Amino acid sequence: MSTGGVGSGGAASAGSGDGGASASVEPAGYPEGNSLGGITAAHNRVRRELDVGQAAPLPPLVWSPEMAAVAQAWADMLVTRSDVCTFPPQTDPHSGNHSYGENIFFWNGAVDDPEALDVFGVVDGWAAEADCYTYGRIGSNDCDLACTQAIFASGCGHYTQIVWRGSSEVGCGYASCPSGSGDVTKVWVCNYFPVGNYVDEFPY
């Protein structure tokens, strides 16, 4: 089994996203059991359990159907790329949409793998970067890159986007494609608004 993740890191200009807060509609691409409420809850568990000292707790994220539609469209596009399906991706998988923060996670393994990730595993994979992160301003040597390489990441941007205090909405999409020899590549894309990971700012 192979896993990997790529996420938003660095500054982006905020856009005009104004998604709602309903989790009542589940994209058809989501695998059974991976509910939208589940992935929102997975994000909010990380935010809720973060020790922010004497500061106010991080507010919970709410589900945005509009951002989820954007994330789903990008996940659907990614699985049309041969380098994604054969795993690992050889070129930058990011959408370039700076209206939202963006985290992307890839998983590759057997179709019938009983350890295949669910949405909690995906978010926990991003949140594992916390072990490599020292609280500080984004871009100020706050992330141990050698540490993140050991967990199939390329920085701490997935984690800092999840716990970005200013972000209030999340929307995600899922898609998959066969990768040969009975294996499958699964792709999760999550978008966030307002955008996080601004260079030289604290995440919370």
The residue assigned the tokens 């020899």 is 181
At residue 117, the pLDDT reads 76
pLDDT digits (tens, 9 = 90+) for 69-96: 999 999 999 999 999 998 888 888 999 9
Distances (CA, A) of 50 to 30, 79, 85: 28, 34, 35
Coil/strand/helix, residue 69 = helix
| Mean pLDDT confidence for 9-38 | 40
CATH pick for 2-9+17-193 out of 3.40.50.2000, 3.40.33.10, 2.60.120.260, 3.30.70.960: 3.40.33.10
6 vs 133, residue with greater confidence: 133
| Mean pLDDT confidence for 177-195 | 93
Angstrom distance (rounded) from CA 140 to CA 136: 7
Cβ–Cβ < 8 Å for 184, 177: yes
E strands, 23-140, are 62-63, 101-110
Angstrom distance (rounded) from CA 138 to CA 197: 6
Question: What pTM was estimated for this model as a whole?
Answer: 0.84
In the predicted structure, residue 27 carries a pLDDT above the cut 70: no
Structural domain boundaries of the chain? 2-9+17-193
Angstrom distance (rounded) from CA 22 to CA 68: 11
pLDDT digits (tens, 9 = 90+) for 117-164: 788 899 999 999 999 999 999 999 999 999 998 888 889 999 999 999
| Mean pLDDT confidence for 52-73 | 95
Angstrom distance (rounded) from CA 95 to CA 117: 23
| Mean pLDDT confidence for 53-66 | 95
At residue 4, the pLDDT reads 53
Angstrom distance (rounded) from CA 61 to CA 108: 28
Give the amino acid at 162: I
